[in-house]
Amino acid sequence: MPAPLRAATHARKPRSIDPKRQAAPQVFDRLREQIVGLELAPGAVLARNELADLFGVSQTPVRDALIKLSEEGLVDIFPQHATVVSRIDIAQAQQAHFLRRAIELEVAATLAVQPTDLLVAQLRAQVDIQAALASGEDYGRFIEADREFHRLMYVAAGVPDLFDLVRRRSGHVDRLRRLHLPTAGKAKAVVRDHRRIVDAIAAGDPEQARQRVSEHLSGTLGQVDQIRAKYPDHVV
């Protein structure tokens, strides 16, 4: 099993908190990154006092960050007892997938109506980065590059706020994808799918662009039973 998937019980030491910015959003972002990346696995206990020491802040911003994580369904808060990283909820993952699919089909079609050479070049460059990371099995950075590929599409379509909306709702499905990614051939399939999406956009074919996005987003949820069987402690 790849190292990032081993059960973690404590947050790793974070980058320094920027004293010029509010602490709670920074704590939230760092913890969310570790939860979605499975560095903090389902069942990991998050002690408020330990996190405050780790981040070098008071317990108030930690509490606020944990509440926000709870609102996204990424942690379960048991008052006067403990806060633990939640297990992956398939029902929530399916709803997030439904939302993302509905939006990204239209994003891709919109871009294909009037593609620009600059956008196509940006997307191809991002896919090349992913291809190199897939070959090196650098899954953490691969996911970052994957996220940037899709963000570029939303920005180019003029709907960057929708990217943030989808991301906030996608914690469960993103964790599911992180479990699935090390499967043989999965990362390369993602790269292939992204190349096909860019090709459809470059060709100015909205229907083909929709079809390629639909194919791309169908992979992980079609393997839910296999993922649950392999990681029973992670998935509800």
Report the pLDDT value the prediction gives residue 14, as an integer from 0 to 100: 56
Q: Which residue has the higher pLDDT, 74 or 13?
A: 74
pLDDT more than 90, % of the chain: 86
Burial profile 172-193: b = 16 or more Cβ within 10 angstroms, e = fewer = bbbbbbbbbbeeeebbeebbbb
| pTM of structure | 0.87
Coil vs helix vs strand at 83: strand
Phi-psi region of 156 (alpha: psi -120 to 50; beta: other; left: phi over 0): alpha
Q: To the nearest whole percent, how much of the chain has pLDDT over 70?
A: 93
Per-residue model confidence (pLDDT) at position 206: 98
Asked if 16 and 40 touch (Cβ cutoff 8 Å), the reply is no
Per-residue model confidence (pLDDT) at position 8: 42
**2 vs 37, residue with greater confidence:** 37
**Any idea where the domains of the chain sit in the sequence?**
3-85, 90-230
Sign of CA dihedral 53, 57, 58, 60: negative
> What local confidence, expressed as pLDDT, does residue 122 receive?
97
Give the CA distances from residue 79 to residues 2, 48, 74, 200, in Å, rounded to whole numbers and listed in that order: 34, 12, 16, 51
The string of pLDDT tens digits covering residues 144-190 is 999 999 999 999 999 999 999 999 999 999 999 999 999 999 999 99
More confident residue, 37 or 16: 37
Q: Are 53 and 13 in contact (CB under 8 A)?
A: no
**pLDDT above 70 for 195:** yes
User: In the prediction, which pLDDT does 11 show?
Assistant: 58
Q: Does domain 3-85 have CATH number 3.30.420.40?
A: no
- Condensed to tens digits (0 to 9), the pLDDT of residues 48-87 reads 999 999 999 999 999 999 999 999 999 999 988 889 999 9
Cβ contact 192:149 at 8 Å: no
pLDDT of res. 162: 98
Average pLDDT across the chain, whole number: 91
| CATH number corresponding to 90-230 | 1.20.120.530
Q: Which pLDDT score is estimated for 5?
A: 36
Task: Reply yes or no on whether the pLDDT at 90 is more than 90.
Answer: yes
- Checking if the pLDDT of 12 tops 70, the result is no
3 falls in which pLDDT band (50, 70, 90)?
A: very low
Q: Please, which pLDDT band fits residue 42 given cuts at 50, 70 and 90?
A: very high
Q: Helix H segments across the chain?
A: 23-36, 48-55, 59-71, 90-113, 117-135, 139-156, 160-169, 171-180, 186-202, 206-216, 224-230
Residue 17 confidence (pLDDT): 80
Contacts of 73 (CB under 8 A, 6+ apart): 86, 89, 92, 171, 172
